[in-house]
Structure 1
Amino acid sequence: MIRLGEYQYLELLDYVLTHGDERVDRTGVGTRSIFGSMLRFDLSDGNVPVLTTKRVYWKTAVKEMLWFLTGETNIQTLLRSNVTIWTDWPLARYRNATGEQVTQKDFEQRIINDDAFAQQWGDLGPVYGKQWRRWAGPDGKQYDQIAGLIETLKLNPTSRRMLFHGWNVADIGDMALPPCHMVYQYHVTSQNRLNCLLYQRSADLLLGAPFNFVGASALQLMIAQQTGLSPGELVWVGGDVHLYRNHFDQARQQLEREPQHPPQMKLVRHPGSIDEYHIDDFVLENYASHPAIRAEVAV
């Protein structure tokens, strides 16, 4: 039997936990890892892959995606929207540079209140948004990959070149974290359905991937609306798919839970451009989940 929806994710979680290769990773935490996996989610019926076997804070994931689309790279905007998922990297840099063991809460509050401090310590380098919206070419021009994608979807929807990516080799060394979800490719069917294939080179299966499913789905809904298409499939492809050693117990806990019916995500407004969406434009209906599962991010 072909497993669909969240069951695919749980089977992958179980496989990595039981068969993953034991590895020493960049963070020093250690992982169990497999190489190469694919999940397929059908968005055409309104359902979205917001996991139900644990509470996923979907608004945080959508806010992050909206932040990427602005082209910004400073966490100040995120923190002012109560999104703290990117704080670990600049906080670690600040502590290492100054020796001050400031708490995360105090560091975040200072970023929010002090623009000069935020400019110095809150920037992540040329991460996702910079590459998506302001890729620097050798000709000195900046290239907006998102605008180019939308234009091609409207004018030449059978193109095989409808993609954007964030792996700018020249900028990798200046990034707080090189892009994990690095390539998004789009495809339009003869029924005018918009499909997306997301390639993720590195997938933190317990914490990261569930957020990436939500962000990619929200982006697919926005792009479909802007181009007069309807959502189709979201195809997620993972390269190094792993569980951190300090996530094993949480994964076992999640595997004991039975998935609920998937929720539906809707856009309640049709903005004039991809740049005009806000979090209030997104509504998630019929979301019933098991309780949240807490786990530490490996930095």
Structure 2
Amino acid sequence: MASAAIPDDSQASDHWEWQYLDLMRRIWDHGDERVDRTGIGTRSIFGTQIRCDLGGGVMPLVTTKRVYWKTATREFLWFLSGDTNIRALCAQGVEIWTDWPLDRYRRETGDDISREGFSQRIVADAAFAEAWGDLGPVYGKQWVDWATYVPTGDGLFAKGPGVNQVEQVVESLRANPGSRRHIVEGWNVAELDRMALPPCHKTYQFHVAGNKLNCLLYQRSCDLALGLPFNLWGGALFTRMVAQQAGFEPGELVWMGGDTHLYLNHADLVETQLSRHPSGTPRLEIARRPASIFDYAIEDFEVSGYVPQGALKAPVAV
């Protein structure tokens, strides 16, 4: 198996991405082979960690393959909007979530529509999007509109005001930075069955040390090859945005994985990526500080120093 060795040069070996490649190698060489929900099969290990210092604008943007950071950013801004329908994503050319509603549509109607055709119809036809494009109460719904219920008497309940966890965290960081309760949680056990996919990156906890904001992201299930590059970017982006809004400098992103796996049909991607070495130091500049964390736009973010190696593709397990 092709396997990149960590270089002797201390500056090169300090690159955060070696943690990612070492984890990939460990899973591929020593992971427990198992049958998973998708039926494809994985090699998996449990309980993993990657750390990245976000000081100086540094971002954990994988360089040993191309990662479309604008796509990942558009997805994250969509989460913050609280939207759960793929229509807004498809309109921007973001197809990250299309496969789940497409699979349901094909199953329930027998129509073997193409992915491109399905996405185009979602954008063009609002009624079709409403019927087939919703993912259920996934990520953003839980982050900014966690459902509550209030008693109305006689043992009955009515829907109460939603809880905006993101807004509350920003406010609590400003008012009480030493708190241990700066948490955004996506794992709403009462609504898991209504979600197209239960949240994988489920818990974000923020921590203030001096003037720096750290974030610990816990991910219950992690597709290391296709998912984690986006998740690391998203976690770091969230940290940068919250830090700017709450008045702190970005500190460290600590990513922790539960079931961390590689799919067995990703062999070509894994072998190629493990033969490569990290390159460059991608940095993110945020052009402005909007009035609210919900007011950022894709044009506010600019990446420099990113010269990725060739794109690597592999099928997504639905």
Aligning the two structures, in what range does the TM-score lie when normalised by the shorter sequence?
over 0.9
In the alignment, residue 36 of structure 1 is paired with which amino acid? G
Q: Structure 1 length normalisation: TM-score?
A: 0.98
Q: Does 1:223 align with 2:251?
A: no
Q: Distance between the aligned counterparts of 2:14 and 2:270, measured in 1?
A: 19
**CA shift at 1:44, angstroms?**
1.1
In the alignment, residue 119 of structure 1 is paired with which amino acid? E
Q: Which moved more, 1:214-223 or 1:149-158?
A: 214-223
Q: Deviations over 1:42-91 (max 9, x none)?
A: 00121101000000000011111000000000000001111001000000
In the alignment, residue 52 of structure 2 is paired with which amino acid? F
Residue in structure 1 matched with residue 225 of structure 2 by the alignment = 206
Structure 2 residue aligned with 1:280, among 299, 302, 318?
A: 299
Identity %: 55
Q: Does 1:267 align with 2:286?
A: yes
Q: Which moved more, 1:44-53 or 1:201-210?
A: 44-53
Residue in structure 1 matched with residue 178 of structure 2 by the alignment = 158
Q: Does 1:175 align with 2:195?
A: yes
Is the 1:196–1:220 Cα contact (8 Å) retained in structure 2?
Answer: yes
In the alignment, residue 59 of structure 1 is paired with which amino acid? K
Is the 1:4–1:41 Cα contact (8 Å) retained in structure 2?
Answer: no
Residue in structure 1 matched with residue 65 of structure 2 by the alignment = 54
Residue in structure 2 matched with residue 16 of structure 1 by the alignment = 27
Structure 2 residue aligned with 1:239, among 258, 263, 266?
A: 258
**CA shift at 1:138, angstroms?**
3.4
Q: Deviations over 1:201-239 (max 9, x none)?
A: 000000000000111111111111111111000000000
Is the 1:94–1:121 Cα contact (8 Å) retained in structure 2?
Answer: yes
Residue in structure 1 matched with residue 156 of structure 2 by the alignment = none
Residue in structure 2 matched with residue 184 of structure 1 by the alignment = 204
Is the 1:203–1:209 Cα contact (8 Å) retained in structure 2?
Answer: yes
Is the 2:15–2:278 Cα contact (8 Å) retained in structure 1?
Answer: no
Structure 1 residue aligned with 2:95, among 64, 84, 87?
A: 84
**CA shift at 1:4, angstroms?**
4.4
- Structure number with greater Rg is 2
Residue in structure 2 matched with residue 102 of structure 1 by the alignment = 113
Structure 2 counterpart SS, 1:142: coil
In the alignment, residue 208 of structure 1 is paired with which amino acid? G
Q: Distance between the aligned counterparts of 1:98 and 1:158, measured in 2?
A: 53
**CA shift at 1:249, angstroms?**
1.9
After TM superposition, list the pairs within 5 Å mapping 1:62-73 onto structure 2: 62-73=73-84
- List, as ranges, runs of 4+ consecutive aligned residues in structure 1 with deviation greater than 6 Å: none
Residue in structure 2 matched with residue 30 of structure 1 by the alignment = 41
Q: Structure 2 length normalisation: TM-score?
A: 0.92
Q: Does 1:122 align with 2:142?
A: no
Could you tell me which runs of 5 or more consecutive residues in structure 1 were left unpaired when the two chains were aligned. Answer: none
Is the 1:55–1:290 Cα contact (8 Å) retained in structure 2?
Answer: yes
Structure 2 counterpart SS, 1:126: coil
